[in-house]
Structures are given as structure tokens and as C-alpha cells.
Structure 1
Amino acid sequence: MALLQLVLVLCAWWRPSAPAALPAHAINGTSPAASATVSDSRVRQERSVLTNYGGSVGLSPYFADLQGRPSPTPPTLTTELTPPPPKCMDEETCNPLARYRTISGRCNNLQSPHHGTPGQAMHTLLPQRYDSPAVFRMRAVGGGLLPNPRHVSLLMSLAPEGAKVEGNSLFVQMGQFIDHDFSITTTVREMTPGGKSVEVDCTACSSWYNPACAPIPVPLNDPYQPPHLPTGERRCLPMTRSVGYLVKDSQGRPVLSQPNFNTAFLDVSPVYGSNRCTAEDLRLHRDGMLESDENHLLTKRPADDFPLCFTEAGYCLHSGDKRVNENVGLTSIPHWSDERLYQEARRINIAQFQNFVYGEYVPLLLGYHTAAKMQLMPNHEGYFLGYDPTIDPGVYNEFSTAAFRMGHSQVPKYITFMNDKYEVTYHIPLHYAFFNNTMLALGNVFDPLVRGLLGVSMRPTDLKLVDSLGNKLFMEKGDPHSGRDLFALNVARGRDHGLAPYVEYLKMCGVKEEVSSFADLESLMRPESLALLARAYEDVRDIDLFSGGLAEVPLPGSLIGDRFWFESPAAGFTHAQLQSIRRVTLASVICGVLDQRNPRIPVHALQTPHPQSNPERRCSELLTVDLELWRETPHSPSPPCTHQGQSYQEGALVPVSPCLACVCQPGGKMRCQCDLSGCKQTQAAEDCYCRRICGYSTPHLKPQYRQ
């Protein structure tokens, strides 16, 4: 079973290397040297020298040269970025009575079976803004090119740090897991002579001649990256464009519609996969379990199977099972097949994950008041009846490409390890751990690592990224200047996807009707942040969505249509099973990962420990799912529910009335809730239950909905 797979994947993403081979600094030892920063004297001159690309060879047709020299014309985009079709997708006929969701999300929406499946184009809140011929947002309001993303990043790094927040490092990792659960955009790839698919190499400044490349030139006065390579050529930060369907907008202009290659539902796809082939590859095909190694850890695969894997161990981790014996309550039901065990365990795990996300993560992200006001938190009891099949659950481009990337600013500087008293024992700079799982081979690291995630505060959501992300992202061993800049890449990616400028979203959301000057943003941003934006962008209407969003002051107390939703009657849980799932917290699941016997853990797993607001408790004091509620006795099964001569098994939705949601419970009993959405159906006026629920006095009266 995969009850703890979520926690293991969260931990495995850190993939730390062995402290003996890396500069792991003891907490009282010598700290690593501070990275270079842009001095004020330099910043005052950035308009004239900071973005001096020097020579036509290094010019970029995508980003502004602030000395005003002419730029070459970018390549005309035709179909070079068209994505390949998704593989191994389910195409079977939809079954309205299906008990389990499909791996690909197909048939979640019975009216539109493909909604939310991999390969569907992402939605946009506003029409995309593209400039021809490259189909890339390049032009500023004044007619010139938008500023170099690296130039923007260097200026934003000077912003003051935001106020301390309650969230911990696990909160950051949870956000990354959520993002990976429902959103994957793919960059353009090409085949090597050996037949291997690799990302198009856009490292050289001259690579912009390839329509798949938009390299970011390094400014001459960059405080960290040398502007020239050892060969004398100009240095650029690589930027490979996203794949997209080249289509026409409503006005006949070419736009790129980027697809999402993951399911759009919270279905723990980083653990189970989002297509049939991956799902089958991860399964053990015995007792409903996923694959694991001899130590009950994630399955190892050769490093050559992964495009980015820098481990010295020769292998990388393949999503599998953390504790093969964790769900002994289910595996002890001998008459269940491997398929039944797998599907039931997956259903329970998805339900718990959805409960964690909306019950613990979202309230901390948005603030409990906002989450409650927007009705985003799970119910305390009963079933959720708000499913709307007319809503397309697809992911929005703005959310995936800009808004949810706010988590990049929350990432702390180090990977920290703590003892059972939540005291720091040692830490490792983050950039040494990217795609490196060497330490996992040593064993006995999960307890200190998990405690580090629980005990170390996240960074505040602001304009700053730690040096490991701003200058050393994916830095290659032995080459200190091979790192990338995540802030710059996020800015460039937003333009690659044609996202509208930041101020247009303010108008769409009703925050600001018109924004014509930087002074119009004074009520939304700190003065220091606003001043830096004014130095980076010549016009307030040029601000990129990612930059503008991070510059906003967070709300007080915040950090910034699924048919199978676990509370929906269609999810197939009895009321007792649903209540058992609701009472489980992320902290209780983390307890199962720790090797220490009955350790102490903070009750709110996404916040740092505190004696009053977040006290520690023994794991034995925390509630877990009562798997006995799923037990069946083959020789004396629970009697089915019957309605109009039809039998319905435990957990099944029983069609008693359009205005009632009835689910079969143990013992052949039904639990029903009023469903006001049924009042809109044509047969409601003739139904006796609907006449009571909807307020009909005669069959011809219009329904009056009760609150």
C-alpha cells in the first residue's frame, strides 16, 4: 500500500548528498561564504551598463538592450514547438457507476470525459499576449523590448526580506508536491543519434536562431555570473521554450496554447502516475502494493534513465512504496484481489491527501478567515454536494506559470537535519542536493530529515530567492558558474506562455480599475519593492505577473470540479469511513515514516513547533484511519441496500430522488442528504421528495431554494 508514499516523495525531493563528501556545516561551525550581491552604487547605473550585452553576436532578439542598439529579428515560429501526443491514455467507454477514478482522470466528468486529462491545453484568465513572428511576449508599452529577466532578477534580489511566518519547510515541500500533482509543462525535446529524448540545448547565446530557444544574456556587470565564457564568447543562461499547440486566437493572431501533461485533479499522481504505462510500471502486482526496494524505500532505477540525476550512487529513485506493510488492515482481507487492494488503498490515500491540502495547507496559505469565507475548507460531517459537471477542472496557465511559483521564494537556504529534541545537528546548502540522492543510500537519515522539515521555518513570500535558486540552480559539480537563475527563468517562462502584464490582472480581479503609474500600486506593495519595480520596468504596465505578484504585501494571516472529490457521494465512502478520513492529520501520517518508536511531533505538521500554538504530541496520541471500517467477511457479507427492486452495495450511490444524495451504509441502511441542485431538473416537480425539499406546493410552481 502507499499510505506514506506522499511523505516519502516529499522527503526524497530534497535528495541530499552525504555530509562527509559535501560542505555540510555544523550549526556552530564556519558558515558558508556569503554570495555576492549588487551594491547600491552599481544599481544606480543599471540603466546604462548593467545590461550591456556587448556586440551583435551576444544580442538577444527577445530581451531589451538598454543601450538602445538594434536587435536582430527572432525566428518565425511555425510548428516547431508542437508537443507529442500523450502516451498510454485510457480510451475506454465511461461507466457512470465506476467505483474508482481512472489513472488518467478520463471519465471523471461524464459529460466531457477528456476534461482534466493529460495533454489538455491550459486555460487562461486573460487572452494571451504574443508578439510576432516568434510568438513570445517581448514588446513593452513604449514600443521597445521588455527588460532582460536576469536584470529584473538582480534588482528584485535587493528587496528587503518579508516578515517571519509560521509555516515550516514541510509546507514548502507540500506546495511543490501539490504543484507536481496537477501540473506538468514540458519543454521542447529532440532525439540524440542514440535515440534518446533530451531537452534542446539552448546554452549558447547564438542558440536563439532555434525557435525552441530564448537564451538570457548575462549582463556585463553581473555580480555573480561572468559575462564571458573562457572561450571569449558571451555567456547566456539557457532557456528552452515550452511545447505548445500553435493556434489562432479570436482575432486571427497566432498564439501558443501550452498543454498540461498531468491530471488536473488532486489524485496523488506523483506517487501513482498519470497514465496507464507508468501506473503499471510502479505496481508490484501483489497484495495491492507498489514497488519498493529491500529496505522498503523507493525503487531504484539506473541514473541514465533520468534526464537530471547527479547522484554518485549510480541510481535515482522511482516513485514506489515507502512501507509495504503499512496498511496491514487492508492486506489482511484475504478475499480481496490485488486489483481491489490497490484501488481501495489508492482511493483512501487520495482522500487523505485532499483532506490535508484543503484542511491544512490552503488555510495556512490563504489564512483561515479567507479559506472559510471562500468555502474552501472540508466539511466537518456529511457529504459534499457541490459537484458541477459544467465546470472544466483544467489548470490555469497563470496559476501554473506564475501564481503558484510564489513557493520558490519560500524555499530556505539549507537542508537541515535535527535530533529528536528538534535541535539542528548539521545542514547542507540546498544547491548541493538538486537531483542528488546519495545520502538516501546511507540509511537512518529520514528521522533527522523529516524533523528538519518540521522544525525549520520557511522563508517569507517576497521578491527574494535564496542564492541556491537565484544563482546556483542545477549547478554542475566543478563549475561554480554553471548555475541558472530561477527568478529569471520564471519571468521568461511567463513571457514564453504569453501571460498578460500584472496590472491587467488587477483590473480583472477588481482590485484596481486603472493603473497608469507606479504610484497607483502604493496600497498593494511596500515602498522598497515598488521602487525596485520602477527601476526594472520603464512603464508600470510592463510588469510581469510573477514579479508583480511577489511584490504584493500578503494578506494578514496568510502566506500569500472533481466528481470523485473525497467528500462527494460518488467517491463511494460510507459516512463512517468518511469521518475516519476527516479526523486524520498530516502529522499522524508523518509518524509512520519515522523510525523512532512513538516519537514526539508537532500537531500542526506544516508549522514550526511552539509550546503554545503548536505543541508536540506523542504519535500514539494522534488519530489514524480506522481500516476496520473497510473489513469484509466473505461468508457473511453486509446486506445490500435495496430500492425499487435494485440492490446496491455498501458505499454505492442510490438513485432515490433527484433531490437526495443517498449512499448505502453498512447493514443495508441508506444515509441521505438534501441536494438542492436536483430542484433544477425537469422531473423534480413530479418527485415527492423534491416537492418537500424545493418548496413546491403544486407541480407547476417554480422551486424556491432554501438556504
Structure 2
Amino acid sequence: MDDELVLDPYPSKIPSLMDPSTSIGFLQPQEINLADQCFPRPQCDFFNPFRTMDGSCNNLQYPTWGQANTASTRIIQANYSDGYAQPRKSVSGHELPSARKIRTAILQDVDKSSPKINLFVMQYSQIVTHDTEFTILKELGSNGPLKCCNKDGSTPEIIPKECLQIKISDDNNSHSKHRCLSVPRALDTSDRGCNIKPVRQMNGVSSFIDASILYGSDHETSRSIRTFKNGKLRRQLGPNGKSYLPNVKKATELCNVTYDSTVCYVTGDPRVNIQPDMAVVTILLMRLHNYLCDELRSLNPKWDDERIYQEARRLLIAMHQHITYNELVPVILGRDFARENYLLPLTKGFDDSYDQYLNPTTTTSFTAAAFRSLHSSIRGFIELVNEARKITSKIRLSDFFFKPDIIQKQDNYDSFTRGLLTQKAQEVDQYFTEEISELAVRIPDRHQHIDLISVDLERGRDYGEPSYNKFRQLCGLSEAKTFDNLIDQMDKKDIDALSKIYEHVDDVDYYVAGLLEKSKPGSMLGHTFQCVVGEMFFRLKYGDRFYYEFGHQIGSFKLGQLNEIRKTTLGLIVCITSDIYSVQRNMFEIPSSRNPLVPCNSIPKLNLSAWKEE
């Protein structure tokens, strides 16, 4: 039976479209926009048809909305123990259970593959995450990165106030001898001298789906990766003369490598080297930009470098947005949910639904909890696949954190890309591969393994996310008075596990309970994650003046151009930017008899003649 046809007894909806009496705790606009007072108002060019690099002036009335290096918004009231910035405690007044204790008891390593969703869903979702959010960590003055643990991995006697700390018990099954997990707190409005209460965390990138992962969110970064010739981005040539992202000057500073000349990429976002598939998709976008530059220049030979760059960037962002809303969102949230909440693109004409009063700034609930759930879909091993869709090799994820050089060996770029299309993702649930729950690393602490899932959980507390019960009410469910009341969304065994860890049902972390929720029909997510993620995509669409379907705005596409953009598929872009000969029709599902491979030469390309100026 098609899961889209399953009757849902608890249909979910986004808070912005719910009756106020149904969405309990949804903040009013003046509360959502509270941090506006913290940042200076930029000067805007009302006639600029292109986005600014930092996202400022997207909204001409509220020009800091979505701007890089401003604060995230809240859609639900924060819960801090002091009402300001200290992480919440149990309703009893005791400390909450350790994030590590919860992780090892409930969020374990169990291999549970999705029946049909492939790994490209996880990777493109990570692209969207990095496109819309970057957590800036607190530092100790000018002394560089904050160290919350001693060098030997033990817990310091005095913990800096800028730190959260996750203790690892001696009997814990950890691959590391360290008994302290360093978690610097996120930079917030108090660090910017703004005393709004409670604090709001800073976002280092623009909130919009604007390919800042490729272009950067400030002028200095964007200029550093441009050639200033024919609109193109910098590149390096690899095997068979193919284009790859340029190298950093000192690879040892940004990658887990021994020599400065080793492959280590630089682009608009410093997280590009985290793992190979992240770099692969960013390379895809760079190749697409330079391809569009060539096409636009051939149509408009009089255009200068700046015009070609801006037009190619504008078009690439539109294609990126179309893939996100037309292909990715229906897979993650469910097509019916996406349709009912107005998240699907139109099939013809302009959309005139831009809402200048809807704040598109990334919400704390999205970035510190709900969308982090996609970490559950990560596989511990990455498969490299040939054109016949046969696995040629497997690599262990933890062997290649911040080591992207494998991409430029032989034809591995195409093999990684086929692997993303062919390998099944893990289900989004309470299970996580040990590769990220025990063996993840970060730069510069490359020799200490971290438990990424415990950090995710602790980050939600850092951001002041209230308990799961508050999100139930926000998303139209009844308040759970006891653990047994959670049975409407969870299995009995999972409820029992929660009751053994937490003192009270009002203590349960949103991130943990959201992962335990049964997925909604047609969706990868449970009720409250679907609700909060849907709310964010709604804001990123209708609060973005430059959203590609909007007409009658400075910078709107012409109707003929919009019709071509609507032909965009991820399959088309993969075919344009690689030597892969065939792709499946639904690029976020594994190939099958219902989702067969089709030749790249059968996929219609965009006709860019609509961009030719007379």
C-alpha cells in the first residue's frame, strides 16, 4: 500500500497556518522579531536586482531579516533555568540527565536502512542546512578556540562559563580514553552587547536558500573565490582535466592532513571538507556556476565579468531553490503535507505571495533540533559505484573526516556521485552510526573523537529549546500529562526508555523525543519535526523577496526564464557536471523498476536563450 494513502489520525500542519487556539505557544511577530533592535540597519539599494552577499536588504522594510551575523529567531519561548541564558533543569530543580547518558541509552548504533530513500537526500539536506545556518562558537578573548576540557581529556576543576560540558563515565563504551567532551557555547546576542532576554544565538551565514555554501556570506569571502574573468569561480584541475574546488594555502590548518600541499578545498563555507560527499556536491555547484557563465557569455558577449557572475549566481540559486522545493521537500516532509502547506512550486505563472511581514530568519528550533534529525540518515560506510551501478569499493566515514583528497583520485568524483544516488540512507529515527556518535572529529581538535549526537542534544539545551511537551502543543497535539500520554506518537518501548532516563515527562528533550516519534505518512519525519521543519521552509519561501517564482519584484525573472528554471532537476545538473551517462528519474530514491535509469542525453536542458539581451 502506498504510504501516501495511509490515513493519518493526527494530521500535522505548520504553526503559521494553524488557528491560534490550536498552536499553543506560537510566538507573536513582535516576539519573533525581538532581536531586530540588536543590529544596525544597513543602507539598501532599492533598485538592486541581485541579492546582497550577506542577505541584508532582502526585506526592504526590515533589512536585517535573514542577514548573516545577526541572531536566529524563535517561534516558541525559550526555556533557560535563569530566564536568560543558563540551560534548563528538570522541573524538580535537579540537573537534566547527561546528554551522553541519554545518547548511549536511547540513541544507539543500529543499522536500519530506508526502503527506497537514497543517500543524496541526506547530503542535499546538509547542503541546505549549511546554506541557512552556521553556529559561531564563543572564544576566550583573543586566545583562539575555546578549550572546555584538559589536554589529557579530563574535566577541568573550573569550567569556563563559555562552556557546556558532557562528562563520559568510566564504564561508558567509548573508543576514546577521554572522559570530557568539549562543547563551547554558541555566540549569542549578549556577546554583541545586546541585552534582550532570553538570549538569541548568532547565525554566521545568511538565512536564505541562496547557495552561500558556494558563494560565501560576505564580500571578502566571495571575492577570494572569484577569478574576475568571465564571471567564473576559481578552480583547480584534477584527473582528466576536470574542475575541482581550489585548494587552501595551508591544508594542515583546515584539513586532517600532514602536508600543506594536500588537497583541501576552499569555497564559500569552511565546512566543505567535513566529509567527501559534502565536497562532491559543492564541486557540483561550482561546475554548474562556471557552466552557466559559459552559456550566458556566449549569448551576451558584451556582458562584463560582474554581470556574468551575478546573472549566473542568480540563476544557480533559482535552480537550487527549485530542486529544494520541488524534489527535496516532498521527500522529507511528504508530498501531501507539502501541498497542503503551500510548499510545492507552481507549475505555471508567477507566484505573488511574497509576505514582507514574515521573518525568514533561521529559527533556533529548526537549526538546534528538528533538522539535525537528518544526522540519523548518515551511513557509516560510503559506497563508490561504477556506471553499471556496481559497488567498486567502500570507505569508512571516520577515515575521511576533513580528508577530501580521495575525491581527486582516478574517477572517484563520479563514483561518489553514483554512490549518493544508489546507496540507501538510514531511516530518520533514534539510531545513529557509530562513525558519528563515537568517531567524529573536528578541526583543530583532530586527535580527539567526539560524539556528534550528544553535541546535537546539548546544543538544543544551549539554544534554550524547551521540552518536547511544548512542541507537542505548538504543533497541535495535546499536552502529555504523563509518559503514557506519549503513546499517540511513540512506541511503548521507547516511552519506557524515556521514563527510565528522565524524572518527568516535562523534562524530555525535544531532539530526543522527536527522533522517537513515528514517521508521518509519506514523510521521513515524525509529527513535531515535520511541523517545525515545514514552518522553516514556509518562511524561507514566502519571506524571501528574491524567491525564484515571485513576480513583480525588482530582480524577478521574466516568465520565459521562469518556465525554463522549472525544467531544472537534480538529474539534469548531475548530467551537466559529470561524466555519468544515466540517472534515475526521482533522484532522491534508489534506482528500481519503478524508478528506472534514463540516459542523460534524454533529459532536456534549459534553453537559456531567454537570457539573451537584444
**Aligned mates of 1:478, 1:574 — CA distance in 2:** 49
The alignment status of 1:126 with 2:76, answered yes or no, reads: yes
CA contact (8 A) 1:311 1:437 kept: no
Match of 1:398 in 2: 365
The CA deviation string for residues 638-660 of structure 1, in whole angstroms up to 9 with x for no partner, is: xxxxxxxxxxxxxxxxxxxxxxx
TM superposition shift of 1:422: 1.1
SS of the residue corresponding to residue 395 of structure 2 reads strand
Identity of aligned residues (%): 27
The alignment status of 1:337 with 2:311, answered yes or no, reads: no
TM superposition shift of 1:604: 1.3
**Aligned mates of 2:258, 2:556 — CA distance in 1:** 43
Match of 1:215 in 2: 165
TM superposition shift of 1:593: 2.4
Match of 1:624 in 2: 605
The alignment status of 1:104 with 2:78, answered yes or no, reads: no
Match of 1:61 in 2: none
**Aligned mates of 1:90, 1:124 — CA distance in 2:** 20
CA contact (8 A) 1:270 1:319 kept: yes
TM superposition shift of 1:438: 2.1
The alignment status of 1:584 with 2:557, answered yes or no, reads: no
SS of the residue corresponding to residue 114 of structure 2 reads coil
Structure with a larger share of its residues in helix: 2
Q: Is there any run of 5+ residues in structure 2 with no aligned partner, and where? A: 1-37, 269-285, 526-542
1:377-396 matches, cutoff 5 A: 377-396=344-363
The alignment status of 1:515 with 2:480, answered yes or no, reads: yes
Of 417, 433, 439, 2:406 maps to 439
Of 545, 549, 560, 1:563 maps to 545
TM superposition shift of 1:247: 9.3
Of 491, 494, 506, 2:457 maps to 491
The alignment status of 1:546 with 2:511, answered yes or no, reads: yes
CA contact (8 A) 2:109 2:432 kept: no
SS of the residue corresponding to residue 564 of structure 2 reads helix
Match of 2:536 in 1: none
**Aligned mates of 2:381, 2:328 — CA distance in 1:** 22
Match of 2:267 in 1: 319
Of 176, 181, 199, 2:131 maps to 181
The alignment status of 1:151 with 2:94, answered yes or no, reads: no
CA 1:253 to 1:533, structure 2 compared with 1: closer, same or farther past 3 Å?
A: farther
CA 1:304 to 1:600, structure 2 compared with 1: closer, same or farther past 3 Å?
A: closer
CA 1:536 to 1:299, structure 2 compared with 1: closer, same or farther past 3 Å?
A: same
TM superposition shift of 1:224: 2.3
Of 582, 586, 591, 1:604 maps to 586
TM superposition shift of 1:277: 1.0
The CA deviation string for residues 269-317 of structure 1, in whole angstroms up to 9 with x for no partner, is: 0011111111111111010111111342101013457455446553420
Match of 2:318 in 1: 351
Of 500, 505, 513, 2:466 maps to 500
Deviating more after overlay: 440-449 vs 351-360: 440-449
Aligned-residue CA RMSD (Å): 2.7
The alignment status of 1:298 with 2:239, answered yes or no, reads: no
**Aligned mates of 1:159, 1:520 — CA distance in 2:** 27
**Aligned mates of 2:324, 2:605 — CA distance in 1:** 17
CA 1:521 to 1:325, structure 2 compared with 1: closer, same or farther past 3 Å?
A: closer
1:241-252 matches, cutoff 5 A: 241-246=185-190
CA 1:548 to 1:112, structure 2 compared with 1: closer, same or farther past 3 Å?
A: same
Match of 1:366 in 2: 333
SS of the residue corresponding to residue 394 of structure 2 reads strand
CA 1:407 to 1:306, structure 2 compared with 1: closer, same or farther past 3 Å?
A: farther
**Aligned mates of 1:247, 1:490 — CA distance in 2:** 22
**Aligned mates of 1:615, 1:338 — CA distance in 2:** 41
**Aligned mates of 1:540, 1:267 — CA distance in 2:** 39
Of 371, 377, 382, 1:415 maps to 382
SS of the residue corresponding to residue 359 of structure 1 reads helix
**Aligned mates of 1:554, 1:341 — CA distance in 2:** 44
Match of 1:265 in 2: 208
CA contact (8 A) 1:90 1:276 kept: no
CA contact (8 A) 1:90 1:104 kept: no
Calculate the TM-score normalised by the size of structure 1.
0.71
CA contact (8 A) 1:311 1:436 kept: no
SS of the residue corresponding to residue 198 of structure 2 reads strand
The CA deviation string for residues 239-292 of structure 1, in whole angstroms up to 9 with x for no partner, is: 1111112399xxx99532111121111110001111111111111101011111
CA contact (8 A) 1:160 1:528 kept: no
**Aligned mates of 1:288, 1:272 — CA distance in 2:** 12
CA 1:568 to 1:429, structure 2 compared with 1: closer, same or farther past 3 Å?
A: same
Q: Give the total of aligned pairs.
A: 530
Match of 1:459 in 2: 426
TM superposition shift of 1:433: 1.4
Of 577, 582, 597, 1:593 maps to 577
Match of 1:656 in 2: none
* Greater Cα radius of gyration, structure 1 or 2: 1
**Aligned mates of 1:177, 1:200 — CA distance in 2:** 28
The CA deviation string for residues 343-392 of structure 1, in whole angstroms up to 9 with x for no partner, is: 11011101101000000000001111111111100000100100011111
Match of 1:700 in 2: none
Deviating more after overlay: 159-168 vs 556-565: 159-168
TM superposition shift of 1:142: 1.9
Calculate the TM-score normalised by the size of structure 2.
0.81
The CA deviation string for residues 681-702 of structure 1, in whole angstroms up to 9 with x for no partner, is: xxxxxxxxxxxxxxxxxxxxxx
Of 324, 343, 346, 1:376 maps to 343
**Aligned mates of 1:303, 1:579 — CA distance in 2:** 44
CA contact (8 A) 1:247 1:254 kept: no
Of 103, 113, 120, 1:170 maps to 120
TM superposition shift of 1:132: 3.8
Match of 2:182 in 1: 238
The CA deviation string for residues 603-652 of structure 1, in whole angstroms up to 9 with x for no partner, is: 1111111122x1100001112221122123xxxx3xxxxxxxxxxxxxxx
CA contact (8 A) 1:463 1:550 kept: yes
The CA deviation string for residues 440-460 of structure 1, in whole angstroms up to 9 with x for no partner, is: 342421111100010001100
CA contact (8 A) 2:84 2:198 kept: no
Deviating more after overlay: 239-248 vs 568-577: 239-248
SS of the residue corresponding to residue 311 of structure 2 reads helix
SS of the residue corresponding to residue 522 of structure 1 reads helix
Q: Is there any run of 5+ residues in structure 1 with no aligned partner, and where? A: 1-84, 230-234, 638-707
Amino acid at match of 1:238: S
**Aligned mates of 2:220, 2:142 — CA distance in 1:** 23
**Aligned mates of 2:142, 2:71 — CA distance in 1:** 28
SS of the residue corresponding to residue 473 of structure 2 reads helix
CA 1:426 to 1:497, structure 2 compared with 1: closer, same or farther past 3 Å?
A: same
The alignment status of 1:275 with 2:275, answered yes or no, reads: no
